[in-house]
Amino acid sequence: MSHLFLLNSGLSVFSHAVFHFHLPSRTLPLGAEIKAEPDIPVALSVHWSGSHNLCFYFLSRPPKEKPDSDPKPDIVWPCAAPIACSAITPCSSYLAFACEDRTITVWDTSVGFPLSVNVLPKGYAIRSLQFVPLSFTSNKKLSIPNKNPSNEKVQLLALCTDGSLHLIASGTQECDTKLLGYKPQAPSQMISAVGTIPTLPDAVLIFFRDGTVNLMDIALQENICQFGTPFPYKIASPWQPVFSVDSSGQGMILRGEAQSGSVKGETEVIFLFDFTFYPLMETFALKVKQSTDSLAHLPWDQRCDIFLNDSLQRLSTISQQMPECWSQLQDYAAALTRGSPEETPGELESGVAEDIIG
């Protein structure tokens, strides 16, 4: 995810925009004139702050006699409320966006249908969304024993403006929401950012404004360890930390700075945390080892049969649930028209249950 700052219609106010690249999928009718490769992005989606529309622009366009000075989007998804934030999985299989009315929609782009529509309780304003890496333990999409693809589930982290962190599990049969942290009593205890480790499912890094960093196991819903900087250093800008986790999931780099007056001539440093030196990290490594994909040892023709049967079952399951999903969206739109979004059917019938933990 990246950010753009564009001048909006010649005004002196800058508009905040978020965009994502998309691989070929059923949500993007490219047409025969556009050649698509499986691993090459074919479209760009963007939404501006305060806008109700999610706009898609194709990266390959047929030649025209006159180029457009102001390109128009090829696809527009209108929403009932302004889009607050969005997220996409690295494989571009799932797209999620949250609106200012607390509605979170997750799309399964591989089949072109929404996976779930969830509404957070009244009083929460969503600040950011992030997908949790899929775990074969909880999402056995590729394993042989799973003959019911309707159990497919993805997990989202929703960070709200009040500092609360919500774990949203979205699936074709259920949608569950859990509160991973209370609203902080002091500003220093507020969560400023969250991060995931690509190769360690259920592992989430939680950054607080007081400069502490916790590693949480969201499956067990408990903190595993805490990362800290040696004296006399501290995390730079803890309210907006600068960090990155390498793609192999072996370590994290974090920008720090010297405390005022403690070190002369050295104000900013980069810390490297090697996850392999932490014994408690073996908990997550064991999950990955136990969830080894058994399809890798099958002949190619048997793997093809499993994938085809899985796809057919997924389409059948999702198609049966589409009428109910669209009915809930229509009821929700009708409630917004009546001016009572706090009593929407999404909250009353979605089956969302909050499980508050410390």
- In tens, the pLDDT along 74-121 reads 899 999 899 999 999 888 889 999 999 999 999 988 778 888 888 888
Q: Which residue has the higher pLDDT, 156 or 91?
A: 156
Radius of gyration of the CA atoms of the chain, in A: 22
Residue 173 inside a domain? The answer is yes
216 within 8 A of 202, measured Cβ to Cβ: no
- For residue 151, what pLDDT is reported? 52
Domain with residue 213: its CATH number is 2.120.10
Reported confidence tier of residue 16, pLDDT bands at 50, 70, 90: confident
The mean predicted confidence, pLDDT, of the chain is 75
Q: What percent of the chain has pLDDT over 90?
A: 19
| Per-residue pLDDT reduced to its tens digit, 203-219 | 899 999 888 899 888 88
Residue 72 inside a domain? The answer is no
Where are the extended beta strands (E) located within 182-267? 191-196, 203-208, 213-217, 222-227, 233-235, 243-245, 251-258
Pairing of strands 43-48, 165-171: unpaired
- 88 lies in which domain range? 79-231+296-349
Residue 134 inside a domain? The answer is yes
- The winner for highest mean pLDDT among 145-159, 302-316, 325-339 is 325-339
Instruction: Please state which of the ranges 152-166, 251-265, 269-283, 301-315 shows the lowest mean pLDDT.
Output: 301-315
- Tokens for 248, please give them: 């192999």
Q: Any residues with CB less than 8 A from the CB of 129 and at least 6 apart, and which?
A: 85, 86, 87, 96, 97, 98, 104, 156, 157, 158, 159
Reported confidence tier of residue 13, pLDDT bands at 50, 70, 90: very low
Residue 57 inside a domain? The answer is no
190 within 8 A of 182, measured Cβ to Cβ: no
Residue 288 inside a domain? The answer is no
- For residue 354, what pLDDT is reported? 38
- For residue 298, what pLDDT is reported? 58
Q: What is the mean pLDDT of residues 257-267?
A: 67
- For residue 284, what pLDDT is reported? 66
Number of domains the chain contains:
1
42 within 8 A of 23, measured Cβ to Cβ: yes
Q: What is the largest CA-CA distance in the chain?
A: 67
Q: What is the mean pLDDT of residues 250-257?
A: 89
**Cβ atoms within 10 A of the Cβ of 122, count?**
11
158 within 8 A of 102, measured Cβ to Cβ: no
Residue 247 inside a domain? The answer is no
- For residue 221, what pLDDT is reported? 81
Q: What is the mean pLDDT of residues 139-164?
A: 63
| Per-residue pLDDT reduced to its tens digit, 38-67 | 778 888 999 998 899 999 998 887 666 566
Residue 1 inside a domain? The answer is no
Reported confidence tier of residue 292, pLDDT bands at 50, 70, 90: very low
Residue 342 inside a domain? The answer is yes
